[in-house]
Structure 1
Amino acid sequence: MKIGILKEQKKGEKRVAISPNIAKQLISKGFEILVEDDAGKASSYKNSNYTEVGATVEKRGVIFKEGQILVKINPFDEDDLKLIDSNHILMSQLFHISNKELVNAIAAKGATAFSMDAMPRITRAQDMDVLSSQNNLAGYKAVIRGAYEMTKIFPLMMTAAGTITPSRVLIYGVGVAGLQAIATAKRLGAVVEATDIRMETKEQAESLGAKFISVDNTGEEKAEGGYAKEASEDYVKRQKEAVNQSLFKADLVITTAMVPGRKSPVLITKEQVEQMKGGAVIVDLAAAQGGNCELSKMDETVIANDVKIIGTTIAPESVATNASDLYGKNMYNFLVHLVNKEGAFNWDLEEEITDGTLIVHEGKIRKN
């Protein structure tokens, strides 16, 4: 089968769905790789890097005409849909729960679509989980961005002129991004605290050296499949009371709390920001879904009460080379899982990974 690697059209996106290294591995498995011209350029991958491993570089129209499996990172857009037909198998992050118009449009074309962000969080699928691989980088980059924006350094430093006390970092959400943020901030020498509705994350946070701020979650729905549930109003109130002391002392706050398919929960209100230290920085990784800070604006830096609030996803496009290679490895493992020894799709709709990710099959919507 021919895999078409499309150039990402989203503004600011620097990643590519499959790196040359992963393209080489797919070719060794019998796939033919077609790469859109300059698809990997922003990730520091030249066209020649692809051709050297056996891939063919083509114009965009040719990719759609000849490619059977079309791969992207971001959802397919209107321009893509004009070129899609019933023979195509689409693979990207579709965010199908909140992107129903796209799902309907793909179905209307009679195409088939897998959503990489719908990967079940089970042990067998860990090496296919793009949310984990990309969020891992996001957690790292959030700390680096915060360190750049702060007016203080992270570590304790004893000098002839006096002692510099370590910065205090508070992290909301101990998922993949949060754990990496904890580890990175600790390596840089900060005092780190963290909180999460999922009490099972306490041990993980503490194992990386963070103090876990516990909030009794009795009566809250348990998390399923590794994803956090939306918290009740009562829990949010109790969390604020428990975390406020740390929030008001923090030099850097990183928020990572997102609920799939829903608006991000507001964890830091305008009133709380007004009580924070002057010079503090908030890096809100949930800004694309509304933000964990009430004042966050996507792709903007808002200054309120001398607190700098950075609304971002720190989408891994900022470390595009590593992000592309990891995303590509996820894609490789997924494709190898889906395809049989003869190079054809298994289409085992009762198998958990296939069932969870196959959103549209031959024009029929399976997941809403």
Structure 2
Amino acid sequence: MPMTVGALRETAKGERRVALTPETARKLVARGLAVIFEHDAGREAGFPDATYVAAGATPADAADVAARADLLLCVQLPPADRLTALRAGTAIVGQLRPNAAHDRLEALGERGVTAFSLELLPRTTRAQAMDVLSSQAAVAGYRAMLIAAEAAPMFFPMLTTAAGTIRPAKVLVIGAGVAGLQAIATARRLGAQIEGYDVRPETREQIESLGARFLDLGVSASGSGGYARELSAEEQAAQQAALGERLRVFDVVVTTAAVPGRPAPKILTAAMLEGMKPGALIVDLAAESGGNCVATVPGQRVNVGGVTVLGPLDLAAGAPLHASEMYARNLLNFAGLLVRDGGLSPDFADDLVAATCVNRVGEKQPQLI
């Protein structure tokens, strides 16, 4: 009997993505695996049940999927009551947020269910095809700039009209990770005058390659693992003084600075907001982890002295079709590390497998840092 890969419908509020697409279902079936999915699992993402059936997958109710799956794929960790039917020896893979779900994951481990949280993947070349943080950040950066363009009180591009010439909006993107670079590229396509800033000087070339100017504030914080190191008090003061002065000219600021598992660094202070021009707009991609701006309220729009601050949540879920396609391919690639000879057989000597496993009983578990 072939090994079975299953996927449940996501039930978190606002979550429209799915961990299994017809494309990845077809590829799993081609590898000799059985694929089962909960009815309407992909409906919100634009994948009706019929497309999965055409790919060789079998629809079922949630309890049946959980009971039959040897490998369960998810976007977010399902509620405990939807996992009660999981058998010992099963594995679950997704963005499991282990710091927030430690007790639930530990309980699954005690039942013999092994969990792999892909936020913990090392940032190596080999892991790129499985990097869910990067794929979903690209969606978030794209959508953040569209939100900014819609919410800004001016056009992004320069327009020449019978009423005169409209200058382009001046846009600053803070943070040149995947989300920031995608935001820069999108602003450029929309015709804005764009600058990018990051405390890691090595990002200058990436920012400039997208047609943006690099905002140099004279502070460097190159760190390890692709993330910036924490600034000293003196460095932070110098950075804030220089940034506060430069912010005065921008119409739109998009902030993207975040480190998984930690509160977002506060970059935009109250004093900086006071110095910004009336009508300026801030879109804070780090709202879910506390925000880069002191005025950010997650999920809300606030006005501080004439400056509008948006704290959008679940940005990737707002483009569920393409976000799901990329995410499902990430999971498909990671599943290749877990399945050998047609069965579930994780190799814990593999650095990617070991780094992402969050609930092996008797083992010290990795934590987001």
- Which band: TM-score by shorter chain? over 0.9
Q: Which moved more, 1:77-86 or 1:113-122?
A: 77-86
Q: How many Å separate the matches in 2 of 1:314 and 1:193?
A: 25
Q: 1:52 to 1:282 in 2, by over 3 A?
A: same
- Please list the CA deviations of residues 199-225 of structure 1 after superposition, one character each: whole Å capped at 9, or x if unmatched: 11111111112221224445x5x4222
Aligned match of 1:290: 290
Q: How many Å separate the matches in 1 of 2:289 and 2:101?
A: 13
Q: How many Å separate the matches in 1 of 2:101 and 2:289?
A: 13
AA partner of residue 250 (structure 1): F
Aligned match of 2:234: 234
Q: How many Å separate the matches in 2 of 1:297 and 1:211?
A: 29
Q: How many Å separate the matches in 2 of 1:87 and 1:361?
A: 11
SS at match of 2:336: helix
Aligned match of 2:119: 117
Aligned match of 1:16: 18
Are the counterparts in 1 of residues 6 and 37 from structure 2 also a CA contact under 8 Å? yes
Q: 1:360 to 1:54 in 2, by over 3 A?
A: same
Q: 1:56 to 1:121 in 2, by over 3 A?
A: same
Are the counterparts in 2 of residues 303 and 309 from structure 1 also a CA contact under 8 Å? yes
Which residues of structure 2 form unaligned runs of 5+? none
AA partner of residue 351 (structure 1): D
- Please list the CA deviations of residues 146-198 of structure 1 after superposition, one character each: whole Å capped at 9, or x if unmatched: 10111111111122221111101111110000001111101111111111121
Aligned match of 2:224: 224
Aligned match of 2:162: 160
TM-score by length of 2: 0.93
SS at match of 1:186: helix
Aligned match of 1:26: 28
Q: 1:308 to 1:115 in 2, by over 3 A?
A: same
- Tell me by how many angstroms 1:96 deviates: 2.1
Q: Which moved more, 1:11-20 or 1:222-231?
A: 222-231
Aligned match of 1:355: 354
- Tell me by how many angstroms 1:81 deviates: 4.6
Which residues of structure 1 form unaligned runs of 5+? none
Aligned match of 1:176: 178
2:288 matches 1:300: no
Instruction: Name the Cα RMSD after superposition.
Output: 1.8
- Please list the CA deviations of residues 43-66 of structure 1 after superposition, one character each: whole Å capped at 9, or x if unmatched: 111111111111011101101111
Q: How many Å separate the matches in 1 of 2:115 and 2:362?
A: 9
- Please list the CA deviations of residues 336-367 of structure 1 after superposition, one character each: whole Å capped at 9, or x if unmatched: 23322x12344322222112212223675532
Aligned match of 2:63: 61
SS at match of 1:163: strand
Identity of aligned residues (%): 39
Aligned match of 2:137: 135
Q: How many Å separate the matches in 2 of 1:84 and 1:363?
A: 20
Are the counterparts in 1 of residues 172 and 253 from structure 2 also a CA contact under 8 Å? yes
2:102 matches 1:100: yes
Q: 1:200 to 1:313 in 2, by over 3 A?
A: farther
SS at match of 1:309: strand
SS at match of 1:193: strand
Are the counterparts in 1 of residues 71 and 344 from structure 2 also a CA contact under 8 Å? no
Aligned length: 365
Aligned match of 2:278: 278
